[in-house]
Amino acid sequence: MTLEEQKKAFVSDIARDRRAWWSVMVPQLLLVGIASLSLAAIAGFGLYTAIVVFREKADAELLSKGTSVFVGGTSTFMGFVVTKLLAKLTELSQEFMAQNRRFTSFTARVKGAATATDYDQTAKDYEK
What's the pLDDT tens digit per position in 51-92? 777 777 666 666 666 666 655 556 667 778 888 999 999 999
Domain that holds residue 92: 26-110
What are the pLDDT digits (tens) for 11-33? 999 999 999 999 999 999 999 99
Whether 21 maps to a domain, the answer reads no
Whether 4 maps to a domain, the answer reads no
User: For residue 70, what pLDDT is reported?
Assistant: 58
HEC sequence for the chain: CCHHHHHHHHHHHHHHHHHHHHHHHHHHHHHHHHHHHHHHHHHHHHHHHHHHHHHHHCCHHHHHHHHHHHHHCHHHHHHHHHHHHHHHHHHHHHHHHHHHHHHHHHHHHHHHCCCHHHHHHHHHHHHC
Whether 38 maps to a domain, the answer reads yes
Whether 62 maps to a domain, the answer reads yes
User: For residue 73, what pLDDT is reported?
Assistant: 57
The domain total for the chain is 1
Whether 35 maps to a domain, the answer reads yes
Whether 117 maps to a domain, the answer reads no
Q: What is the separation of C-alpha 33 from the centre of its chain, rounded to a whole number of angstroms?
A: 7
Whether 93 maps to a domain, the answer reads yes
Dihedrals φ, ψ of 119, to 5°? Answer: -60, -45
Instruction: Measure the CA–CA gap between 107 and 94, rounded to whole angstroms.
Output: 20
User: For residue 125, what pLDDT is reported?
Assistant: 93
